Amino acid sequence: MLIRIIYTLLLALASPILLFGLYKSKPNKPKFGKRWKEHFGFTPKLESTERPIWIHAVSVGESIAAIPLIKALKEKRPEQPILVTTTTSTGAEQIAKLGDLIEHRYMPIDFAFAVKGFLKASQPKQMLIIETELWPNTLNEVHKADIPISVVNARLSEKSCKNYAKVQPLFNLFIPCLDKVLCQTESDAERFERLGVSKEKLEVTGSIKFDIQISQDVREQGKALRTELGQDRPVWIAASTHKGEDEQVLEAHRQVLVSHPDALLVLVPRHPERFDNVFELCQKQGFNTVRRTSQTEVTESTQVYLGDTMGEMLTLIGATDVCFMGGSLAGDKIGGHNVLEPAALGVPVITGPSYYNFKEIVEQLMFINCIDICPSSALLSKHILLAIDSKECIIEKNNALKLWFANHGCAIEKSLRIISGEL
């Protein structure tokens, strides 16, 4: 009790800074409008009178991961209402693509009064948390309301595990509230157990991101985009780049152009508020750059194609020969991004040295020789050139990735089967 009181006081002191970052206006960032009140528990009642399954996906990455799970759940139980909460407006933008399959509300801030207001308005029958978004007061109030809580697609890196261990008394507040923790890997389960979660609550289901269902439409869109970009020229993508990585990627592309003057870089910044700045950076550095949203024709002289849209990553990757995954050359703060998306499309992957968020997956891809680890930005161009100069190697890796991916699915089915007793 005392620990929760201290935590709540600290949260109250920090909340103005957290809220400023959440509400700060940025280019290409959707606005909350009058819905900001939902963060404080002023939650509009749901249209359905039946108690919903509540799925929380904090932001863009978790929302994208949740979408196939939501679709599978609705397929099994079409009549079951689903409520999805996000904390960010960019996450809400992704969830909005599901249309009337779900209802969306913003997640209340982790104050007991806000969570109580939300629960009173929404009356969920179960809570599914995507990945590891754990808040003490939220979990406590949901648990007190006798609502089962499962963490789905749970992952816990060694770094996060050590950080939680530093505040073990706080983490201990989570444990009684959790009914199931469905982990991506055995290592994730071992780390949760190390922090005190009992084996009975832990299950290894694999990553639901393995269950990426790439529709034929998306594949066709990728092929059509490749035709637009140039079928016979080398095309590589730098996906989900962070501030500081763009310069490194552009320098690598400059070196690639020395050997392949017709090469094209598809550059996709991680955060939409950076689209304009990255476009200006490309122009400032002298690259002939076309923005996807400008609908300007891509010509042989185009050197950089800026992917400044949301939700089209699979289409963009599908139009390329090789993918560098961002967040891996930005120091150790990020830990890399989802290498499974290019893998699902059969596109060979290059990552920087910081990939701890997807360590086991990267190691599996290394085992089948379908990912290259680039130790520094100075060597990135070398890795790109090795990939695009060997068409036969690209074809071999493409086939190996398709086979590997086909053998690593069913995480959604496993997850739904385990929690079905609570549905």
Which residues participate in catalysis according to the annotation?
62
First CA to last CA distance, the chain: 30
Angle at 298 between CA 296 and CA 302, to 5 degrees: 115
Q: In whole angstroms, what is the distance from residue 148 CA to residue 189 CA?
A: 20
Q: Token pair 């891996």 is at which residue?
A: 328
Residue 306: strand, helix, or coil: strand
Dihedral-angle region of residue 351 (phi above 0 means left; psi in -120 to 50 means alpha; beta otherwise): beta
DSSP-assigned states of every residue in 328-377: SSS-TTT----THHHHHTT--EEE-S--GGGHHHHHHHHHTT-EEE--SG
Residue 193 CB neighbours (<10 A): 15
The SS3 assignment for 63 reads helix
Nearest-angstrom CA–CA distance, 291 and 307: 7
Site of tokens 């629960």: 119
Cβ atoms of 308 and 291 within 8 Å: the answer is: yes
How far is the CA of 158 from the CAs of 162, 164, 173, 190, 390, in angstroms? 6, 10, 20, 10, 36
Rounded Cα distance between 126 and 51, Å, is 9
* C-beta neighbour count of 147 within 10 angstroms: 19
CA distance 329 to 322: 17
Residues in Cβ contact with 356 at an 8 Å cutoff, skipping those fewer than 6 apart:
157, 158, 159, 332, 335, 336
